[in-house]
Amino acid sequence: MTDPTNDLASRLQGLWLPLITPFRDGELDEASLRRLVRYYAAGPVDGFILAATSGEGMSLRVDELERLVMVTRSELSGSGRRLPILLGLSGASTAKVLDALDETAAWPIDGYLIASPYYIRPSQRGLVQHFTALADHASWPIVLYNIPYRTGVSLTNETLLQLALHPNIAGMKDCGADRAQSIDFLSRRPPDFRVLTGEDALYHEALADGADGAILLSAHLETEAFASVQTIMKQGDRGGALACWKAISGLTRLLFAEPSPAPTKYWLKRSGLIDSAEVRLPMVEVSAELAALLDEEIERRRLPLLRQA
């Protein structure tokens, strides 16, 4: 097993984009994917997450996952930026996730984002053994994904502190939606263990509490402004960071008004960045009511012309 964990941990900060997966006529839309990657690689993004929740990863076949990774890495290479890529994996069976780690070991990624087993609701002891088995086996470092409202089980801080000591676990995407728990963990985590919030609506407060950055679907829009919140806060201007945040915080509510990533795909289609707002069942495209609200917001913000992609 390689051990690039320290390198990933050093880069696991700032603004990461959980890239949507564009579809057209039921298939992966490679032209739109290339356009997306070129566009965001030219902006203030510090890394990409592929095939996680926002990327509808559970709807993708293995061959599609591989193509998603290969196209993204190819476009990043052409952009001149060696941005890191995390591949989203999930599953209720430890053995099946181990198989997925083997299938993807040679892919040009930098790590994995792995959620707790869904539906099974294992004990904390079971979670420790599950993630330890994965981390022992993985060719690339792992970032834990704590999102109990999707998986049905939360990683407690004691469990997280135990897992944080594993040399092949680099950090965590925190979607626990429990600020007190997050603050407690941030105060006790090992110094080289990174924490990125995944709760778009809690972005500003997570940074204020000491998170190292964020993985934000909403940053598909107003990317520069989302990045600026952290930049300004790091400069010590908390008032300026809050003002910047207030100007974009409404987007986080609008983009999650219906199941994600459908609202974001609608906006990106309207912007011309992707060719179709298509999602895969059981996801459905936005309702006419939400489409009207999105149209109003697009007009209000006077969506600028895209950079040449």
In tens, the pLDDT along 206-255 reads: 999 999 999 999 999 999 999 999 999 999 999 999 999 999 999 999 99
The fold of 5-241 is TIM Barrel (3.20.20)
Compare 102 and 6 and report the one with higher pLDDT: 102
Percent of the residues in the chain that have a pLDDT greater than 70, as a whole number:
95
Q: Average pLDDT for residues 90-102, to the nearest whole number?
A: 96
Angle between helices 94-104 and 124-137 in degrees, nearest 10 = 20
Q: Tell me the mean pLDDT in the region 174-181.
A: 94
d(CA 24, CA 178) in angstroms, rounded, equals 37
- Within a 10 A sphere around the Cβ of 91, how many other Cβ atoms? 19
Closest CA to 49 of 281, 247, 274, 261: 261
Name the active-site residue from 40, 112, 145, 203. Answer: 145
Q: Where are the domains of the chain?
A: 5-241
> Among the options 39, 112, 173, 203, which is catalytic?
173
Band the pLDDT of 66: cuts 50, 70, 90.
Answer: very high
Q: At 306, is the pLDDT very low, low, confident or very high (cuts 50, 70, 90)?
A: very low
pLDDT of residue 148: 94
Lookup result for tokens 């070991």: 105
Consult the annotation and say whether 215 binds a ligand: yes
Task: Note if 145 is an active site residue.
Answer: yes
Q: Which of 193, 220, 216, 221 is nearest to 206 (CA)?
A: 216
173 is catalytic: yes
